Each structure stands twice: as C-alpha cells, then as structure tokens.
Amino acid sequence: MRDLSSQLLAWYDDHAREMPWRVSPADRKVGVRPDPYAVWMSEVMLQQTTVAAVRNYHRKFMGLWPAVRDLAAAEDADVMAAWAGLGYYARARNLLKCARAVVSEHGGVFPETNDQLLTLPGIGPYTAAAISAIAFDRAETVVDGNVERVMSRIYDVHTPLPAAKPQLTALARALTPDRRPGDYAQAVMDLGATICTPRSPACGICPWREPCAARLAGTAAELPRKTPKKKTPTRHGIAYVVRREDGAWLLETRPESGLLGGMLGWPGSDWRDAPAPTPTPPLATDWVALEQEARHTFTHFHLRLQVMTARVPLGVNPERGTFVAHADFRAAALPTAMRKVYDLAIVTLHPDGVAG
C-alpha cells in the first residue's frame, strides 16, 4: 500500500497542477505552508464547480477579502454580488456564516481537525477532510468523484455507485499515507482530473498503470458503474421584469430559505411542476409576454421561466419588490437564472429607459 502512495507522490512532485490556493510540492518541502483560509475558500467554491471556473472567483475573493476577518466583516450584499455567476448560492451564505464563526468562536484561526471543522457552517465530511489534509497535512481520507473513480479502477470494483461508496472510501482510507497526506490527497485528485479521466483514461502515462486491476482486466473505461439516474424534472415559473420610465428596475431579494435565497431577482411566481404556473404579477399593468422562455438547469431540475415585461410610469406602487435606479443596477450581480431573464427582457426594455 505504501508503495502505491509513494509512486503517486513521486508523480505528483513532477506533475502537480498549479492553483492559486495551492503550495507546490517543492515549496512544501522547504517548509511553506498553505493558508487555511485560502484552502477553505477553494474547497467551498469547488463544491459543485470546476477548477477552471473557480480560479478567477478565488482570486477575486482573496483580493477583496484577504483574510478571514475581512470576509467576516463584509456586507452580505457585497459577498452575494461577488459570488454571482458561481451558482449554488447557499454556499455563499454559508461562506459568510463560517467566516464569522471562525472569528467569533475560534479567534480568527481555522481549527485543524476533522471534528472541529465539521461544526462550522457549510463544511460537510468531504470539505472537512480536504481542509484538514491539504491545509494542515493531517492523514484524512478525502473522497470525491475523482477519488471514487480512481479507486474503482485500481481495484476493479464493479459494484455500482452510490452503493459502492463505503467500499471505495475504505479502499481510499487504506491507501492514505501518514507521510505527506496533504500532497497525497491533492495527488489523487490530480490523477483523477488529468489522467484517470472519466471516458478515456490515459493508462499509458499513469503512475499506477502496473498495479491497476481495471487496466489489466480491460474494464477501466467502464468504471465506476453507476445506478441509472431518474430523469431530471422540469419546473415552470413566471418572471416579471418591470422598467420604470426613469430607467429603474423592479427587483426583490429572494427569501433566505430556498434556491437563490438572499439573492437579488425579478419578482415572480413559485416554481411548480405544472406547465402553467399561477400568475402573481407585482403590479397591475399591461404585460407583454415574451415568446422565448428563460431556461436554466439547477442540480435537481430544469427551470423554464416565462418572461413578462412591462414599462410603467413614475409613481406606481408595486405590491412586491423595490425599484433600483438604473445607475445602481448591475446585471452581472444577478444569479445566472435571473441574468438569463434579463438578457431576454432587455431586447424589449432598452437600457436607456426610453427607446425600444
């Protein structure tokens, strides 16, 4: 077992991916330690999001809030706006809650152990293990989709996921070394992301090609097996885009609980399974229904939003939402689903507030 981890660490020394939050194996060997705050932020951002998409957001956040105390003191709205486009907004709310808990309960210093990390908001078993291993070099077993794939292949495990999870986790734990566990955790992730990829693993250049059971059996590309997923359902809703004659936009902050909670959005109906959602316009006016729907896919469902637009005079009093002056409005700060609504509506509601 130790041989396997040593082989992988030797490969990692030469092939580690560079990431803004990472300390290279060479720097680590001369005593450079990762910033736990940067590692934690990367792990929260990487939940459900690719490394490529996270890089710029991570740089932006570290630039705006270089230390956990800076983030803890930030305005909620600024953090939510900076997060816009990264998706899964509960993560942004938890990011703030966690930063504040680290400051108020831990004196601004991230705890090191799995158990302590698990008490913090937004940190589940995977994230706790990843932070503990990567930031503090503790021998925790970090198991994500990449690691499950690699384990299923080197041991030729044919039990389908998710039933195979406990077995794959146990195999990963048995391989986790006491020496350089942080580098090892990142090495398995890198192997899964760059060589042992889902469809066409590059076995010819893999540091584990000799012992790999799936390569020997010729089953690598079929693994891991997965229990077929249920079809993703579609939900339907209506979004109301209102432009006042002075150019202001009618927006509302979505309820804290639920999808896009706490984010700015267009007033709208509930999102239901029925193809004809119940209209809930924020004010009485002549609505124009756009032909094209806004479509967006969340983790568990597809959303189709009918877009209704209206121009209204000064002095109207909507039942919901608040008018935001055009000068203060930033489409880029909207979550992606709401941004897609804007992109359709803007064709009829010209940005100068007069034409169109």
Rounded Cα distance, 169 and 192, in Å: 15
Residue type, 117: L
| 189 contributes a contact to ligand SF4 by CB under 6 A | no
As measured in angstroms, the least distance from the Cβ of 9 to ligand SF4 is: 15
Please choose, out of 10-18, 89-97, 194-202, 265-273, the segment that lies near ligand SF4 by the rule CB under 6 A: 194-202
CB of 253 to ligand SF4, least distance (A): 46
Rg of the chain taking only CA atoms, in angstroms? 24
Strands 302-312 and 234-244: parallel
CB–CB of 251/257 below 8 Å?
Answer: no
Binding window for ligand SF4 (CB under 6 A); candidates: 87-95, 196-204, 238-246, 299-307: 196-204
Interface stretch with ligand SF4, choices 68-76, 116-124, 201-209, 232-240 (CB under 6 A): 201-209
What's the closest the beta carbon of residue 201 comes to ligand SF4, in angstroms?
4
Answer yes or no: are the C-beta atoms of 241 and 349 closer than 8 Å.
yes
Q: What residues are annotated to the active site?
A: 43
Residue 114: CB minimum distance to ligand SF4, A: 26
Under the binding rule (CB under 6 A), the answer on residue 12 touching ligand SF4 is no
* Nearest to 263, CA basis, from 54, 57, 93: 93
Number of residues that bind ligand SF4 (CB under 6 A): 15
Residue 195 within binding range of ligand SF4, rule CB under 6 A: yes
Structure tokens at 146: 């990449």
Pick the closer one to ligand SF4 by CB: 138 or 225: 225
Q: Using the rule CB under 6 A, is 208 a contact of ligand SF4?
A: yes
Pick one of 102, 123, 206, 307: the residue that binds ligand SF4 (CB under 6 A). Answer: 206
Q: How far apart are CA 27 and CA 38, in angstroms?
A: 16
Q: Using CB under 6 A, pick the residue from 164, 214, 264, 290 that binds ligand SF4.
A: 214
CA distance 54 to 161: 27
Which of these ranges, 12-20, 202-210, 228-236, 269-277, lies near ligand SF4 under the rule CB under 6 A? 202-210
Distance of CA 314 to the CA centre of its chain: 40
Q: What span, in angstroms and rounded, lies between the C-alpha atoms of 333 and 252?
A: 13
Which residue type, as a one-letter code, is found at position 302?
A: H
Among residues 54, 123, 129, 196, the one that binds ligand SF4 under rule CB under 6 A: 196
Footprint on residues 218-277 left by ligand SF4 (CB under 6 A): 220
| 323 CB neighbour count, 10 Å cutoff | 19
Nearby residues of 106 by Cβ (< 8 Å), 6 or more positions away: none
> Which segment (5-13, 46-54, 147-155, 173-181) binds ligand SF4 by CB under 6 A?
147-155
Does the footprint of ligand SF4 cover residue 151 (CB under 6 A)? Answer: no
Cβ-in-10-Å burial (0-12, 13-18, 19+) of 9 comes to middle
Q: Is 153 in the site for ligand SF4 (CB under 6 A)?
A: yes
CB 240 within 8 A of CB 250: yes
Min dist. Cβ of residue 41 to ligand SF4 (A): 30
User: What are the residues binding ligand SF4 (CB under 6 A)?
Assistant: 150, 153-154, 195-196, 201-203, 206, 208-209, 212, 214-215, 220
